[in-house]
Structure 1
Amino acid sequence: MTPKVSIIVPCFNHAKYLNECVESVRNQSYTNWECIIVDDGSTDDTEAVSRTLESDRIRYIHQENRGLSGARNTGIKNASGEYILPLDADDTLNPLALEKMIAVLDQDPDTLIVFSDTVTFGHTSKKSNLQEKFTLKELLLGNKLYCTSLFPKKYFDEGIVYDEKLRHGFEDWEFWIQLISTHRKQPITKIDYPVFNYRSHPETSMIKEITGNTDKKEFIYHAVYEKHKALFHEFFPSYISLLNRKTFYEKKLESIYSSKPYRIYNFLINLFR
């Protein structure tokens, strides 16, 4: 039977989490799926662990290191499913994830993306609160979706792929910009069920490294802007000045919040609450 959903699991040196990740796929209430593990040039035991997990529904692919975008693209190219669900190798799916997502697509086949909140576990614990509805204009200012969201493979086959030049991160944000901007009238649906659990690590994550590094952040924004210049100008004719203003106010607020008078004020406010 041809699988309806292909779950793409890129893995770079996350062998110690891979079994837990794949086990969460095996535990899905919805069973018409395949799982493709893409080893992106790992130097740990990723291949050995993956070989023990292989079955008629779980495949292993090795490639030289090309980054997260390259690993996702390889997995999707080799996928047989009608729908794609990326899942990082250190994260896990909740048991009803596929069932809940496919139910949306069965009801409305024109749905472009199905997404949800997530639960963070590991080093920290919290639940996200994503906007249920957002505009393309809002998306251009920052990502509104997690990478572990369901979308039809046919759009990938039409040329909407992860940008392998974005090796510093935010490749999922740029992918959603591509997909949503070229299919503006199709519905994007948030379900009231956390599809996946995001593992928080005590060591520095890619996102923290980027957001804490102004040069990297500006490089990524500039790369995305250059790629979608006409789109940004459609909504923000003076996008560069907008970014500069955004950066100015971020620095201004950071300066205020770290000042001694503000710290004393904040302490007193909390003391008498």
Structure 2
Amino acid sequence: MEPFVSIILPTYNRAYVLWRAIQSVLAQTEPRWELLVVDDGSTDCTQRLLEEFRDPRITSIRTENAGPSAARNAGLDRAAGDYVAYLDSDNAWRDSFLERVLSATRAHPDDVLWYCGASITFWERDATGRWRRIEHTDELRRQYSLDDVWKLKCPDTNGILHRRGIAREVGGWDEDCRWLEDWDFFVRVALRYPDRTRWVPHILVDYRQVHGEGADGLCAQAREDGEAEVTGRRYLLDKWGAHPDFDARDKLDVTPDALPKLRVKEGDE
């Protein structure tokens, strides 16, 4: 069976949680997919874990460590599906993700990118290894206009599906962008196709971030290191700040001291 959707899953040293993301793909009610797991130079047991999955729809691609955007581009180079979706290795899809989003492609065939909402949980892991929940919210998102996008509103990477060809049209994922790379990708699509992105009003993604001593992933690690996040913000400001419609300078032009770390409040568990 030819793949209908190419799923690109970049991962780096996350064998301990990668299995959950892969299992959520295997559980999809829509079976027409290929999963391209791009191992971005992991030094843990990621390759050993991947050997345990024998489904012929799963392909492992190993690259030198260059970050998630480079890994997604490597996946795009191998993608064979009509559509492309993305799943980060610490997140998971609801079983009906592909079925519902593909239904939206049939209902709105002139569009080029579709996106849904997510159930978002922030965790803190302290030096003893104890896990505590910081925050949980169900974020349905909405249909974003270009005005919204210029205020840094965008769908999360894990909830989007797009026609394969548009990634090449907009230049792929910016490999120098290490913060809000999903916004950077989406704004380029929205500029090229301002009326052809489509909101799918369902929560179909389980999204997680781990902060504190066990910070996991670029977003959480950057928040723990304020200088790193500020560098990422200023990259976007340099790239997009001169656009006449850009309306988020106050969100990007900040100092490390203005970025409070996410922590469990006193007495919370």
- What are the within-5 Å matches in structure 2 for residues 153-168 of structure 1? 153-166=164-177, 168=178
Which structure 1 residue ranges, 5 or more long, are not aligned?
255-273
Specify the alignment match of 1:173 in structure 2. 183
Q: Tell me the distance in 1 between the aligned counterparts of 2:73 and 2:252.
A: 35
Q: Which amino acid aligns with 1:164?
A: E
Most deviating of 202-211 and 127-136: 202-211
Q: Which amino acid aligns with 2:232?
A: I
Q: Is the 8 A contact 1:24 1:94 kept in 2?
A: yes
Specify the alignment match of 2:35 in structure 1. 35
Q: Is the 8 A contact 2:119 2:139 kept in 1?
A: no
2:250 aligned residue (235, 239, 243): 243
1:200 aligned residue (209, 226, 229): 209
Q: Tell me the distance in 1 between the aligned counterparts of 2:137 and 2:197.
A: 24
Superposed displacement of residue 113, structure 1 = 2.3
Specify the alignment match of 1:47 in structure 2. 47
Most deviating of 122-131 and 74-83: 122-131
Aligned length: 245
Which structure 2 residue ranges, 5 or more long, are not aligned?
124-132, 261-269
Most deviating of 146-155 and 106-115: 106-115
1:102-131 C-alpha deviation (Å, 9 max, x unpaired): 000011112232222212358336233244
Query: Does the alignment pair 1:224 with 2:236?
Result: yes
SS in structure 2 at match of 1:56? coil
- Cα root mean square deviation, aligned: 2.7
1:230-270 C-alpha deviation (Å, 9 max, x unpaired): 5x22x14xx69x5389759x96xx9xxxxxxxxxxxxxxxx
- What are the within-5 Å matches in structure 2 for residues 182-197 of structure 1? 182-192=192-202, 194-197=203-206
Q: Is the 8 A contact 1:160 1:179 kept in 2?
A: no
Q: Select the structure of larger CA radius of gyration.
A: 1
SS in structure 1 at match of 2:150? helix
1:15-37 C-alpha deviation (Å, 9 max, x unpaired): 11122211111111111111010
TM-score, normalised to structure 2, is 0.81
Identity of aligned residues (%): 24
Specify the alignment match of 1:70 in structure 2. 70
Q: Tell me the distance in 2 between the aligned counterparts of 1:165 and 1:13.
A: 20
More helix by share: 1
Q: Is the 8 A contact 1:33 1:57 kept in 2?
A: yes
TM-score, normalised to structure 1, is 0.79
- What are the within-5 Å matches in structure 2 for residues 31-180 of structure 1? 31-121=31-121, 123=123, 124=133, 126-148=136-158, 149-166=160-177, 168-180=178-190
Q: Tell me the distance in 2 between the aligned counterparts of 1:64 and 1:107.
A: 40
More strand by share: 2
